[in-house]
Amino acid sequence: MTGPDVRALLADIKTLVCCESPSSDHAAVARSAEVLAGMGRALLGAEPERIVLDGCTHLRWRFGDGPPRVLLLGHHDTVWPLGSLASHPFSVADGVLRGPGCFDMKAGVVMALHAAAALPDRAGLSILVTGDEELGSPSSRGLIEEEARGCDAAFVLEASADGGALKTGRKGVSHYRIAVTGRAAHAGLEPERGVNAGIEVAHQVLAMAALADPARGTSVVPTVISAGTTVNTVPAAAGVEVDVRAPDGAEQLRVDRELRELRPVLENAQVRVHGGINRPPLETSSSAGLFRLARELSAGLGLGELSAASVGGASDGNYTAGMGVPTLDGLGAVGGGAHADHEHVLVAELPRRTELLTALVENVLAKREAK
């Protein structure tokens, strides 16, 4: 197996980065999907299946006659709005590649296609590239779970953690909205006749923040808070959005249960809890075996020592791990600045990580054939 061609990798990354694809713009995501389909057709000699769900375009390649055994998982949507290339143009200088969405995660998608192209036999491989991950995968979650079911491994092409570390753990994510109902009254004439939803939501913010457990890595963060309509009216309604991150399923369930047990402090106020668990954790037990394999293969290929990291951000790998599928994340680009002005990719690592990915897929597929 010859090593990946860095010039070909860079050319394809440029093509994909220069086709902007903000998640909320279905037409832009569809255009990006067509660019990606053409790229895959040239590299793999195969046409992808285009799957449009709720207006969003996802791509899937399947190889062989049997069910998938290895899933390469990525997304081609980004957080960058149309026109971002004008202020953040694609560039490669001094070994650093820049451009909107290059690190998160268009480089990783290109790496997946090039890694698959280098396989001597792709039977049992599935490649799924979704178009709504940055929105929380509202239309693609079922597709991801369908494709991962029964797989021996899911390799997620999200960008690496700091220093190129693979992501062996991700916190579970839950989202809530706490809605408070009070009673309006004139703030100057008869405030005592009102039930102040603003005061009640303040009590609730303090109560929910107390559910965090920093020692365990559990965060409960009130984010968007709203109350009231005019300056001279006792607020009749208020609300707060809550972001919860938990390192394991037990913690995620604990916070969920305790949030649902919140009760009003003010007489005649009402508190309702909406939302719930969005993504299960990717626990380190799910990635341990694949990380050991990655370290062995990296050493054998002369690619150096690999490190691991657990992170607070979520990915579609949370879904596959939550199903019990062995999952290794962060196999994409090495660099930094996801969602930020300094987003970048280290060019020297592109062929190295692509070679590692090819070896991982080939190894897992070969083990299945040997059974």
* Tens digit of each residue's pLDDT (9 = 90 or more) over 340-349: 999 999 999 9
- Of the pLDDT bands very low, low, confident and very high (cuts 50, 70, 90), residue 222 is very high
Q: pTM of this prediction?
A: 0.92
Domain with CATH 3.30.70.360 in the chain: 172-279
- Return d(Cα 85, Cα 103) in angstroms, integer: 14
Q: What is the assigned CATH class of domain 6-171+281-370?
A: alpha beta
Q: Is 254 left (phi over 0), alpha (psi -120 to 50) or beta?
A: alpha
- Of the pLDDT bands very low, low, confident and very high (cuts 50, 70, 90), residue 95 is very high
Closest CA to 333 of 169, 166, 144, 84: 166
pLDDT one-digit tens code per residue, 161-195: 999 999 999 999 999 999 999 999 999 999 999 99
- Return d(Cα 66, Cα 45) in angstroms, integer: 19
- What per-residue confidence (pLDDT) applies to 2? 64
How do strand 49-53 and strand 96-98 relate by DSSP bridges? unpaired
pLDDT one-digit tens code per residue, 2-61: 679 999 999 999 999 999 999 999 999 999 999 999 999 999 999 999 999 999 999 999
How do strand 270-279 and strand 70-75 relate by DSSP bridges? unpaired
- Return d(Cα 43, Cα 80) in angstroms, integer: 27
- Return d(Cα 115, Cα 358) in angstroms, integer: 5
Architecture of domain 172-279: 2-Layer Sandwich (3.30)
Q: What is the percent of the chain where pLDDT is above 90?
A: 98
Q: With the C-alpha atoms ordered 80, 83, 84, 89, is the resulting torsion angle positive or negative?
A: positive
* Helix then strand then coil, % of the chain, to nearest 5: 35, 25, 35
Quote the longest CA-to-CA distance of the chain. 82
- What per-residue confidence (pLDDT) applies to 369? 62
Q: Do residues 110 and 350 make contact, with C-beta atoms less than 8 angstroms apart? A: no
- Give the residue numbers marked as catalytic: 77, 133
- What per-residue confidence (pLDDT) applies to 3? 78
Closest CA to 113 of 20, 44, 34: 44
- Of the pLDDT bands very low, low, confident and very high (cuts 50, 70, 90), residue 370 is low
Domain with CATH 3.40.630.10 in the chain: 6-171+281-370
